[in-house]
Each structure stands twice: as C-alpha cells, then as structure tokens.
Amino acid sequence: MPTGDGIRRDVAKIPHEELHRLKDAFIGLHNKFYPGDRDDIPAGHVSFWFKQDEIHQATHVHSFPGFRGIAFLPWHRELVNRFEALLREVDPEVSLHYWDWTTDPNPDGGGGAVNLFTSHFMGTANGMAGEPWLGAGFYDPNANPPRGEFEGDPSGSGNPVDPPKNLIRAVGAGVPTFPNSDDEIIEAETFPEMRGLLEDNHNFAHGYIGGTIGNPHTSFRDPFVFLLHSNVDRLFALWQLQPGKQWRLDPEQVYGIESNTDIIPGAPRYDPGILTPLDPWAGNPNNHPAVKRVRPWATPENEHLSMENRKNSKHPSVVAPPAYDTNP
C-alpha cells in the first residue's frame, strides 16, 4: 500500500502514519489563508479550512423538501476533488480516504477494529470534539465574535473568518443500519434512481454522526464530513464503473433523463441541474439571489472568470470517477 499513489482507501485500514499525515494536512489547511481582509465584502483572509464551510453554505446543493437535488452528486464530487487538491498542497502524498459506512467508526476496541474517534485523528465521538481540533482552532468555545451556530444566528458574526464556538458529535452506537444497501445503490439502473438511494443513505449518515455534522448549515465545520463524502463519491464511482455500463462514463449519457436540466427561471430557491455552472466556483453567472459569491471566485481575484471554474456537471473532470481501492 504505497503512500502517495493517489488512491483513496478505507481510512480504517491505512497505516497509522498515513492516518496522522491526513489529520496533519487538515490542520495545515487552517494555517493557509485566502487573500484580503476580514471586513472585505465578500470576506477575505479566510483559512483554507474555514473556506469549506463558506463554500457549502453558499449553495446548499441537496434535495431538501421543494428541491430536486439533481446536481447533488456531481457538485459534491467537485467539492471533494478540490479539497483533496488543497490537502496535497500541504502534503503531496496524502489522499482523501473514506469512511466505509457499513462499519462502526467508534468500536469498543474488540476484534482489532480501528477507532476513528480519538485525539490522534478525528477527536471524540460524543460531546465536544476536543483534540486535535480544539487546539488547532477549528472551533473556540470562547470565540468573540463567533461565526454563529445556525443560519441567521443573531449572536454570531456570520463571517467565515471567525471560528464557531462548537464542534459537537453524537455518534450512534454500533454499525449503522442504512435505508438502502450499498449493493442496491450500485445496482440501480438509472442515475435518478441511484442518486435517490445514495442521498437517502447520505442523509442517514449525517444523522448517525450527529451534532454539528447533522445540521446541513454547519456540517462542513466537522472534518469527518469529508470522510463521509468521500464514501458517497466512492459509491457513485462504483455505480459508474459496473461492467457493461460504459455509458455511465459518457458526459452526455451518465445522467440519463436529467442530462439537460438547469435551474428553473425565477425560482426562489437555488436548485441547480446538470447544465448549471458549478457554484460558487463559477461566480454565480445566473445571478441567482440565493447563491452567495465567495472569494477568490469573485472580485477582486476574479478566479470565476477562468474557464476551468465555469464548468457544469458534464465536464469530463466531474464525470471521471476518482481512484478508489474498490474500483473494479
């Protein structure tokens, strides 16, 4: 199992040295900052880590009641791919490994299973996450001002530069029991069928970990969210790579009847389709009022003007499955 081969693996099965390097890369992102000052609009001087929360809150691409959620999987693949690229700016040999949600992430120590919730990796499983995230500044119980614990929190600044006061867990007991099996997801015939099953499990997984990650508005403040979403993307990749299904690698065919969907003109909610540019990186070219512009994909850096940031869910870099240890 060579380090630096670019393959995402079951995080509970990688060597301890690589586990610690992944954790250190997460922390390293909080010591790197985007340009500008905190009082800029949009805010500057946001750490690479806190930027993930800002990005997620800028769009909320999910199938909530009243939302179609068509772009949920490709949008989160783009987020995960970009995050892995940032981790490799800190440590070129790390990969964004995944939590296999058919296993207990917090075992009692029996059977040689690996506990992911320790002070050496993901912090505690119940209550405040503690170390290593408290000492690294991922949250601060004494923050003044704090970012805010929910959307529109009047006691918070709402500024992505500021730390939240809390990073809380409430991990369920034992191996989680999901609404759908991984096999059912992988064996689904169409993209709409598959993504519905997979998003149901995704929603359950957020609730199983609980606490901060259980709230869609705050979930990307918890580093564990990326292990969860790497697994979501792994199952999407497995579905694409099933034998005899080469069409699932074709940008014009993979999304089936949803291939030519876009935002609904005049709709009050941001509900992107497959043809919608991937925001916030695209800079909100549709000027949708529900999308927040985020630097550096806004003025003054204007990185949204780059064609590589104007892509939609059909772009080859989005459709191409990343390298997982379970790929056929």
Whether residue 225 has pLDDT greater than 70:
yes
Whether residue 266 has pLDDT greater than 90:
no
Q: What is the amino acid identity at position 170? A: A
Of the pLDDT bands very low, low, confident and very high (cuts 50, 70, 90), residue 265 is confident
- Ranges 23-32, 64-73, 98-107, 269-278: which has the least confidence: 64-73
| The pLDDT of residue 216 | 85
Contact 139, 129 (CB under 8 A): yes
Phi, psi of 47 (to 5 degrees): -65, 155
Domains of the chain in start order, with CATH, are 11-319 (1.10.1280.10)
Q: Which two tokens stand for residue 249?
A: 């690698």
Q: What is the amino acid identity at position 318? A: V
Contact 209, 219 (CB under 8 A): no
Q: Which two tokens stand for residue 176?
A: 């989680």
Q: Which two tokens stand for residue 48?
A: 């690479």
CA nearest 236: which of 260, 256, 263, 254?
254
Q: Would you call 152 exposed, middle or buried from its count of C-beta atoms within 10 A (0-12, 13-18, 19+)?
A: exposed
| The pLDDT of residue 153 | 85
Q: Which two tokens stand for residue 140?
A: 């601060």
DSSP reduced 3-state for 100:
coil
* Torsional class of 34: left (φ above 0), alpha (ψ -120 to 50), beta (otherwise): beta
State the average pLDDT over residues 62-67: 73
State the average pLDDT over residues 19-34: 98
| The pLDDT of residue 281 | 98
First to last CA, the chain: 17
Of the pLDDT bands very low, low, confident and very high (cuts 50, 70, 90), residue 2 is low
CA nearest 167: which of 119, 115, 227, 220?
220
| The pLDDT of residue 4 | 83
Q: Find out whether the peptide bond into 296 is cis, omega within 30 degrees of 0.
A: yes
Contact 265, 276 (CB under 8 A): no
Residue with tokens 């867990």: 169
Of the pLDDT bands very low, low, confident and very high (cuts 50, 70, 90), residue 55 is very high
CA nearest 133: which of 285, 30, 8?
30
CA nearest 314: which of 263, 260, 272?
260
Q: Which residue has the higher pLDDT, 216 or 250?
A: 250
Q: What is the amino acid identity at position 208? A: Y
DSSP reduced 3-state for 24:
helix
| pLDDT tens figures, 125-159 | 999 999 999 999 999 999 999 998 877 788 899 99
| The pLDDT of residue 110 | 53
| The pLDDT of residue 67 | 78
State the average pLDDT over residues 20-27: 98
Kindly report the average pLDDT of the chain as a whole number: 94
